[in-house]
Amino acid sequence: MERPIISSRVDPKDCIFCRIVKRELPAYIVYEDTKYIAFLDKAPFSEGHTLVCPKEHGETIWDMNEQDIGGLFMIASRLSKAIVDAMQADGFRFVQNNGEAANQVVAHVHVHVVPVKKDDKGKMMGRIKISEDKMKDIADKITTKINNMNRISFRSLKNLEYPI
């Protein structure tokens, strides 16, 4: 049996990401389909730092089936292209924390997509504060890039089925 990991258990009705999915809390949402949603991190490491989540509540990646894990990272991979392009970044990081020991702050599975620039190389990244106007501008830029991507390839992911 898998060793359980310690997570900050939360009732889905109190989960801030579930509440963003239900539009009970505001967020700069840049992408949404039937299974996944992506929005800007409120306390980002860089401009364009985006969180990609399954809409269904689960605390860690171990709460998801493998098909949905595959879908989550496929969406994150596709969105990373739009994010890097929109932010004129030179690279990006995926960060996916599971459990308190990994410093998972919100107990709802999420993948961080953090665009980085050449000058960021080797630096520890700290949280930055971005004005609401700037956040809106960033969200608009990313959304525009996503909308210009191949919509058919995104649509085909909604009923994701592939052999493993």
- Would you tell me which residues interact with Zn ion (CB under 5 A)? 15, 17-18, 57, 108
- Concerning whether 108 is annotated as a catalytic residue, the answer is no
Which residue is nearest to Zn ion, using beta carbons? Answer: 15
Please state, in angstroms and rounded to a whole number, the distance separating the CA atoms of residues 133 and 79.
Answer: 22
Paired with 114 in beta bridges are 93
User: Taking the complex as a whole, how short is the minimal distance between the CB of residue 85 and Zn ion, in angstroms?
Assistant: 29
Give whichever of 17 and 45 is closer to Zn ion, judged by the CB atom.
17
Catalytic residue among 49, 57, 108, 110: 110
User: Taking the complex as a whole, how short is the minimal distance between the CB of residue 36 and Zn ion, in angstroms?
Assistant: 13
Give whichever of 108 and 141 is closer to Zn ion, judged by the CB atom.
108
Give whichever of 11 and 132 is closer to Zn ion, judged by the CB atom.
11
Contact 38, 143 (CB under 8 A): no
Residue 63 structure tokens: 């709460």
Give whichever of 49 and 57 is closer to Zn ion, judged by the CB atom.
57
Residue 150 structure tokens: 């191949």
Please state, in angstroms and rounded to a whole number, the distance separating the CA atoms of residues 111 and 38.
Answer: 9
Please state, in angstroms and rounded to a whole number, the distance separating the CA atoms of residues 60 and 37.
Answer: 16
Residue type, 115: P
Please state, in angstroms and rounded to a whole number, the distance separating the CA atoms of residues 57 and 142.
Answer: 25
How far from the centroid of its chain's Cα atoms is residue 113's Cα? 6
Q: Which residues are catalytic?
A: 110
